């Protein structure tokens, strides 16, 4: 079988099957060199000059992500925020951008505080509505529609294919933050997106020990060249050891995400029946507003993230989070351990998140233990 005919889970597990040519090691070495030798005639025929622009430790994780996303090329960044910011910073001054009202709060805050000073206009809309997206587009000015699906922390779902049609009709690009879906569940480029971003800190790494970000492009074009230059000149680069840890995490991406999806569905089904739970927000529930779109564009599950709203408001939600024993009260998501947090406390006073909401990141523990822990915390 050729590499292109292999299942993505096989490509991930074997990290594309590359081995060390010198030793035969099945794990490639970590390249720590910051600079590389010129040829006697002052050329760089081996393709390396300086690690800030081109680190050999990036080659395999970038190639693997490109294969998993079905893209043309990928870039690693020092964080998800660095990857996302580089997209907006690479747009021409005077560009207009459409972004979702519900999205990762750090990026929403950055757009509000810094995009305008960088010459970028931003409109925030309900991205679950294609009509809202269509109305927000400014012909001749809109250069980018940015969507996140499922969107943190309400897990609202955006129709990627429909969004791509709207963007392309306006001469704009569609970028998708697919951190929560991962390539295991959704391949946005195959649905018409031009660019996919991941906070690789989360599921791609999966062990809560690396901060990283990624971009994958549908085609290598002038905008992609601007992104490459933005990473190099801006210095938003990942360390060699972090690149190694990221690749190691990506090798177990499929079993981790598949397990988290199964557990999240089981937890959502069980906890939605609890009398102290006002609502469970999870795309896998038939009553979820975005369930039908999610079922169409996600395969193999609906993700490992869910949120629940606790009857009794802020104090009841914070109290329940304080009583869990297995779930860890911590920010972030996508690790092997299950996390819980009162999200509005993190996002601040201008957050659109309900004050009674708890965000849950489901790990790979036994789901029955996780359900029992939640139920006990809610019962007290």
Hey, which residues are catalytic here?
52, 104, 177, 202
The half-sphere exposure of 218 on its side-chain side, counting CA atoms within 13 A, is: 14
Establish whether the linkage from the previous residue to 153 is cis, with ω within 30° of 0: yes
H-type alpha helices, 70-193 = 80-89, 105-110, 130-136, 160-169, 182-185
DSSP helix, strand, coil percent of the chain (3-state; round to 5): 40, 15, 45
The helices-and-strands tally (H runs, E runs) of the chain is 14, 12
From the CA atom positions of the chain, what is the Rg in Å?
Answer: 21
- C-alpha–C-alpha distance, residues 351 and 109, integer Å: 10
DSSP, collapsed to helix, strand or coil, labels residue 222 as helix
Structure tokens at 350: 């201008």
Q: Is the dihedral of CA 330, 244, 53, 216 positive or negative?
A: negative
Number of CB atoms found within 10 A of residue 369's CB: 14
The three-state secondary structure class of 197 is strand
Task: Please confirm whether the linkage preceding 18 is cis (ω < 30° from 0).
Answer: no
């Amino acid at each position: 079988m050729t590499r292109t005919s292999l299942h993505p889970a096989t490509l991930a597990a074997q990290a594309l099957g590359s081995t060390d040519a010198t030793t035969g090691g099945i794990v490639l070495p970590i390249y720590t060199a910051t600079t590389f030798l010129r040829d006697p005639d002052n050329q760089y025929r081996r393709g390396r000059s300086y690690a800030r622009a081109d680190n050999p430790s990036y080659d395999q994780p970038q190639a693997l992500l490109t294969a998993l996303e079905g893209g043309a090329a990928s870039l690693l960044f020092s964080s998800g925020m660095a990857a996302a910011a580089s997209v907006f910073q690479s747009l021409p001054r005077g560009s207009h951008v459409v972004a979702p009202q519900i999205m990762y709060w750090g990026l929403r805050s950055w757009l509000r505080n810094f995009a305008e000073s960088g010459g970028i206009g931003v409109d925030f809309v309900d991205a679950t509505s294609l009509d809202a997206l269509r109305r927000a587009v400014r012909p001749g000015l809109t250069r980018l529609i940015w969507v996140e699906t499922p969107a943190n922390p309400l897990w609202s779902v955006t129709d990627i294919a429909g969004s791509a049609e709207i963007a392309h009709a306006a001469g704009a690009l569609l970028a998708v933050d697919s951190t929560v879906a991962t390539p295991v569940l959704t391949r946005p480029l195959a649905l018409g997106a031009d660019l996919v971003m991941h906070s690789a800190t989360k599921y791609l790494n999966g062990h809560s020990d690396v901060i990283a970000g990624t971009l994958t492009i549908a085609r290598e074009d002038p905008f992609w060249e601007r992104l490459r230059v933005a990473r190099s000149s801006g210095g938003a680069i990942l360390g060699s050891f972090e690149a190694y840890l990221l690749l190691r995490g990506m090798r177990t991406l499929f079993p981790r995400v598949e397990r988290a999806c199964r557990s999240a569905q089981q937890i959502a089904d069980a906890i939605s029946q609890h009398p102290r739970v006002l609502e469970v927000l999870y795309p896998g529930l038939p009553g979820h507003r975005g369930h039908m779109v999610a079922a169409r564009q996600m395969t193999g599950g609906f993700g490992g993230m869910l949120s629940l709203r606790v009857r009794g408001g802020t104090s009841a939600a914070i109290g329940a989070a304080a009583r869990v024993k297995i779930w860890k009260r911590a920010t972030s998501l996508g690790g092997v351990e299950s996390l819980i947090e009162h999200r509005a406390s993190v996002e601040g006073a201008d957050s659109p998140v309900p004050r009674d909401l708890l965000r849950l990141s489901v790990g790979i523990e036994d789901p029955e233990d996780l359900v029992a822990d939640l139920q006990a915390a809610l019962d007290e």
